[in-house]
Structure formats: C-alpha cells, structure tokens
Amino acid sequence: MKNQWITFREFLKYMSLLKLKNYFLLYSSFQLSRLSKKPTIWGYPTTLSIEPTTSCNLRCPECPSGLRSFTRPTGMLEYELFKKIIDQSKDTLTYMHLYFQGEPFLHPQFLGMIRYADGSGVFTSTSTNAHYISEKNVDQIIDSGLRQMIVSMDGISQEVYEEYRIGGNLEKVQKGLSLILKRKKEMRKQFPRIILQFLVTGKNEHQIPDLKNWAKKIGVDELQLKTTQIYGFENGSELIPKNLEYSRYVPSKNGTWKLKKEIENKCWRMWQGAVVTWDGRMLPCCFDKDGQHVMGKIHENPLKDIWNNASYNSFRQQLLYDRSQIDICKNCTE
C-alpha cells in the first residue's frame, strides 16, 4: 500500500483543474450514456496508450508481435507524430502508457518520447520485457521522467520462463531489474516505480510462492499476478491455470470454457481513453491488437475530432446496445 500511495501522490502532481474537470465530465457522460443507452461524450481522452513499435525480440504464443501475425502495417512511430499526439492531448491527458504491441525499448527515440511527454505535464508509464536495460542506458531511463515501468517476467526459472517468453533470457531480465533497482537507490530516486508483472498460466502457476519470495528479496515496488488472455480459449488450453483464481476463464456445463465474468453492455474504457498505433491509427481499446476498428487517423484529422466522430459514437452505441456482438469484447475482462 505504501508504494501505491507514493505512485498516486506523484500522479496527483501531474493533475490540473482542467484535467480534473475533464475527468468528471467523462465519467458523468459515461453514467448518463449507461442510463439512456445513447452515447453522450463530454470531454476528451484522459488516458492514451501509444505504440512506439510493433517490433519485438520475443515470440510469445498469445501475442501478435510474437507470432508475427499482424494484418495491419508494422513499423516504428515517427517522433514528430508522437509530439503531435501529445500536443493535441496534453491539456486533458492524465496518463500515457507508451506501449501497445512490440518492445518499446527497440525504438531508438523511446526515452526522448518519455522526456517530451513528461515535459508536457503527462504522467508516463511503459511495459517491457526488460532485455534492454543495461549499464549504458540505466541512468538515462531513471532521468527520463518515466514514472512507472511494468516488467513482464512469467517464470522464476529459465525452463519455465521460456515456455511463454520464447526466445527470452531470464538471467538478462533479472540482471536488468537488479541494475535499475540498485541505481535508483544509489541515485536516491523513487521513480520509475518498478512493477513486476507475472502472467499466470498452467505452466508457471506452481512458481508463484518462489516468485513472491524473489520479488520481495530484490525489492520491486509492486508484484502483479495477472490473468492471461488466450485466443481460442473456448476449447481449453494448457495455458489456463488449474487455480481458477488466476484465470479469466471457467469451465461451462457443455465441456467448453467461457469468460469468468459475463459481458455487460457498458465499458468505461470507451469514455476514458484510446489507443494510437505507431502509424497514427486511433483504436478504441487495447484488445484491438490487430487494428480492426480504426476510428480515424491522426495524420488526417485532429485527435479531438476523431474522439467525437460518427464512427466512434456508433461503436459506443453498439456496446451500449449489445456488447457481445463486438469481436474484441469477447475476450475482455472489463
């Protein structure tokens, strides 16, 4: 709780009256939309996930980047486009996650983007597989303004780790984690907060006790045990944990599997924020990994115009009416 309070206190430093007002308007219009079953949107995105690149060094089996299975274009975000996105949204943006698909540290200007967003008054976060934290860049990472770093590590032994993080090197990940935690302490810096994220699967759930001990010993700021999204879960998978506490799915009566949580005709994410791909396509949600629902392109229209356009409101209308008919919602924990 202490570490979470430190993060929240830092988050509040990036707030302004305009950002608070915008958040209130968004939440109010979301509740009104739920009651009326008609999409009303007051305010602009308070959160954004921005994709630096689709490139990745690993080949994780439930990830389009790892599978190299995108049908949308792949590439790297241009720095000027990133600045354009931040400039258009910074007045109301409270949180930016510089990640969607791919490994963000593969982008040569990644830390420059973090610095620009932080300098624009935006709380910054990222997710990484931690293969690129080194003596050469660790001080730059700490000094960049990055406030939160989520590190994915789904095993406490190389054998188990590489079952999912195919092509990964656990020793390299652990060395990178140890290095940044050590340098933070030496530099007397609290940020970035380091969140160790463990995707629980049927292949690694037995390592959770050892993981907790290791995380405590190394001194990460937070440990998150996260459920794993699985494609084609209906017919079961060896990746579904036996302990259903850590599963998004439960057995159904007919021998197949279903989502643990029933899909409801609401989704705060559609009022809260959006995803922007490396080439400027604005998507409604991080579950749309292949970019099937493009609401607009920032090269062609301002972000705020896209946020309020007919396509976006039509999408919001559909989820208020019958969300189960939206493909990307069928594997969602919202």
User: What is the per-residue pLDDT across 232-260, written as a single tens digit (0 to 9) for each?
Assistant: 899 899 999 999 999 999 999 888 999 98
Q: How does residue 38 score in pLDDT terms, banded at 50, 70 and 90?
A: very high
- Please give the structure tokens belonging to residue 128: 């990484």
pTM: 0.94
Q: Nearest CA to 121 among 94, 85, 146?
A: 94
CB-based contacts of 113, cutoff 8 Å, min separation 6: 52, 77, 79, 82, 98, 107
Residue type, 293: H
Q: Is the preceding peptide bond at 192 cis, omega within 30 degrees of 0?
A: yes
For residue 280, is pLDDT > 60?
yes
**pLDDT tens, position by position, 144-196:** 999 999 999 999 999 999 999 999 999 999 999 999 999 999 999 999 999 99
Long-range contact pairs involving 62-69 (C-beta distance under 8 Å, separation at least 24)? 62/164, 62/228, 62/229, 62/230, 62/231, 62/239, 63/101, 63/289, 64/101, 64/289, 64/290, 65/101, 65/102, 65/103, 66/166
- 259, β-bridge pairs: 249
Do 88 and 120 touch, CB atoms closer than 8 A? no
More confident site: 329 or 117: 117
**pLDDT tens, position by position, 85-142:** 999 999 999 999 999 999 999 999 999 999 999 999 999 999 999 999 999 999 999 9
CA distance 279 to 80: 11
Q: How does residue 1 score in pLDDT terms, banded at 50, 70 and 90?
A: low
